[in-house]
Amino acid sequence: MSIAANPQLKSAEEVKSERIYAQWGLTDQEFKIIENEMGRLPNYTETGLFSAMWSEHASYKKSKPILKTFWSKNERVLQGPGEGAGILDIGDGQAVVFKAESHNHPSQVEPYQGAATGVGGILRDIFSMGAQPIAVLDSLRFSEIKNEQTKSLIDGVIDGIAGYGNAIGIPTVGGDVAFDDAYEGNLLCNVMSIGLLDHQDTIKVGQAHGKDNSVIYVGAKTGRDGINGATFASTEFSSQEESQRSAVQVGDPFMEKLVMDATIKAVREMPEAVIAIQDMGAAGILSSSSEMGEKGGSGIWLDLDKVPVREKGMIPYELMLSESQERMLLVVAQGREKGVIDLYRDAGLDAVVIGKVTDDSRYRLSFQGETVADLDIKLLTKAPSYKLPSKLPVHIKKASQQQYQPKISNPLQIIMQILSQPTISSKKFFYRHFDSMVRTDTVVKPGGDAAVIRIRGTKKALSLTTDVNGRYVYLDPYRGGQMAIAEAARNVVSTGALPIGITDCLNFGNPDNQEVYYELEQSVAGINNFAKQLNTPVVSGNVSLYNETDNRAIYPTPMIGMVGLIRDNRKITTINFKKNGDLIYLIGSTGNDFNGSEIQKLQTGKISGKLFDFDADAELNNQKLILTAIEAGLLKSAHDLSEGGLIVALLESAFETSFAFDANLKLDDAQLFAETNGRFIVTVEPEKEPVFEKMAGDQAELIGRVTDRNHFQIKTDQSSFSIDKEEATKTWKNSIANLME
């Protein structure tokens, strides 16, 4: 087999002798494996293909041994990890399709486009399965808001999400935002999208089958944008290297709207013609075509001269690795190409046959009449994976075993300080920029525990949330992982939904650091443990490593995106108090749990010590009680307790209403701020008191009443005080706006 030499490019010998491969991120050992397996030296183009496909971003070579341990099968799972998105059965022949993805590095260097293309990319993952996207959520982490640089990063990310999501017309319905200096230089922008399949039999997976079926390129033209994005996301930042900017891609939501609508239409109208679809994400045409071929047990041949281009003179390496946005790759049955192409052309889109499926398991590229790459498709797509060594972090080994004890001399003053912390205060300043209502299915909008989207034409609804507290995971990766999924479940349960599955974004530092690898390993084990107990399989997800600047890693942040199912939309419950005189109950007991809490951060400027306990049984029992009580129609409102503790949850239930509360608590002042997991506050009509108390037993404690006064009245074991509602509401509502001005 003769392989074209690409005269103007480095020869295969030069690629080896000048270690060009190392500049692209391949190690000497990996290059040796490639050379041995191929039985010859890879040429310039082939080396480029390996460097992208074997990058951590595309291959997960360092995280794979851990990801394999995820529990991802139960009676609902129609599609687990490994495809564009995971799929769960929700009855009536319908299925929910969802996935989360990180766009951290691109958002750090170019916040608007980084966040915008993050939204665009995850939406393509959803509609590539044949599903109609119905919602987007964002999980964001920034450093504390203290300088202009941070403000402009935040503004850029928020505008980027809004700019893309609003224009394409998929509602941005929720998510979570937190601020900590651990994210300085490494913001996190994780986007989750959810789609609906009306007919399970139209599920499309990215598997290329059938010799001589056509590979069709659809959507925007290919330019040089984002070349090496995959390898870019797999290395650490240095604050010096401005040149990394070249990896930024620009999104076009208008183009994607056309691609989305046409792709969904193609799947619906020609399900037998469209055999497979995959989004061209990281490593563009290369990864989408080679992965589809490998997963289908096939080979792929592409004629690169057919690829629609935006720039002249692009070489094979650039064509294959370009990360130009809004492009899809389809495998279409031989003879059915015209129908599919016409459908896209009618929408004003490029659709071109660029290659064929083969049966020889080779990955072959032609360019200007010559074969420029000829590789074993399995070798290309299956990077060697590494189980790395791990080590208990020193800060955990040396951590104090004692719980921090807050000093509360003036509870009112501390409450006002807590309310003004950006992690606690209202996020409306951000989410008001997102169209949360388009498609007119949003029942619970941003600001609640979880967003709720009804499924039109049925009584069903989906409850959606994202959660993780990186501080907890930092102090104890295993327990922090359990708590991340527990909090997500509490949020979903509060709306009246049964948690049915999760996706994740595993945001960590450099895995070659043994302490970071330990965090990854242990937090996944914690998530897995509680996912099984909740019966919420992990059906999709993504890994973002190397979130470090100048050797300082972020808090380990395994973001959990959860989907819950509501059978009867009349049972949807919100956090807001509903009526004067309703009884307020606290579900779950409160401990002296302060290490890693908002109050510890507020009072000591940092978090430290051994993380408090996680009582899995109490968590499950209390969640079950909430669901049973909502099902029985006993709850007027429900709200989970998380950062800031009981006092924050009580106030949040009243801020957006015309009500206040009187609370009489058998707790000390500090415990107002304790962050013991597994707790909720609920309200119950006075007439239903006996029924509810019988059902709840000692899991619930009556702590007060909803009032219609203009102040909150609180009595603890130590003190009695009142909070002016208007003042507290103002503090909570305006804090972020004030910091961002």
- Judged by the rule CB under 8 A, the positions of this chain that interact with another protein are 148, 152, 159, 162-163, 166-169, 252-255, 257-258, 312, 347-348, 431-443, 454, 456, 569
In the beta sheet, which residues pair with residue 453?
442, 462
Radius of gyration of the chain (CA): 26
**Which CB sits closer to another protein, 392 or 437?**
437
**Which CB sits closer to another protein, 62 or 454?**
454
For residue 306, how many other CB atoms are within 10 A of its CB? Answer: 14
Query: Cβ of residue 343: shortest distance to another protein, in angstroms?
Result: 14
**Which CB sits closer to another protein, 574 or 707?**
574
Q: How far is it, in rounded angstroms, from Cα 684 to Cα 680?
A: 13
Q: How far is it, in rounded angstroms, from Cα 341 to Cα 723?
A: 65
Helix ranges restricted to H, 276-427: 284-295, 316-321, 337-346, 377-381, 394-397, 411-419
Query: Cβ of residue 98: shortest distance to another protein, in angstroms?
Result: 21
57 is catalytic: yes
**Which CB sits closer to another protein, 458 or 510?**
458
Q: Which of 155, 249, 143 is nearest to 187 (CA)?
A: 143
Q: Which of 75, 206, 192 is nearest to 130 (CA)?
A: 206
Residue 68 C-alpha from the chain's centroid? 19
Copy the structure tokens of residue 326.
């809004």
711 is catalytic: no
Query: Cβ of residue 677: shortest distance to another protein, in angstroms?
Result: 30
230 close to 287: Cβ distance less than 8 angstroms: yes
**Which CB sits closer to another protein, 261 or 376?**
261
Q: What are phi and psi of 398, to 5 degrees?
A: -90, 0
What's the full length of the chain, in residues? 741
Q: How far is it, in rounded angstroms, from Cα 366 to Cα 376?
A: 15
Query: Cβ of residue 456: shortest distance to another protein, in angstroms?
Result: 7
Q: How far is it, in rounded angstroms, from Cα 667 to Cα 408?
A: 13
DSSP letter (8 states) at residue 717: S
**Which CB sits closer to another protein, 68 or 254?**
254
Query: Cβ of residue 704: shortest distance to another protein, in angstroms?
Result: 26
In the beta sheet, which residues pair with residue 585?
682, 702
Query: Cβ of residue 252: shortest distance to another protein, in angstroms?
Result: 7
Q: How far is it, in rounded angstroms, from Cα 447 to Cα 483?
A: 21
Catalytic option among 103, 209, 395, 711 = 103
CA dihedral 392, 397, 401, 403 (to 10 degrees): -70
Catalytic option among 57, 105, 433, 711 = 57
Q: How far is it, in rounded angstroms, from Cα 594 to Cα 612?
A: 7
Query: Cβ of residue 441: shortest distance to another protein, in angstroms?
Result: 8
**Which CB sits closer to another protein, 62 or 639?**
639
Catalytically active residues are: 57, 103
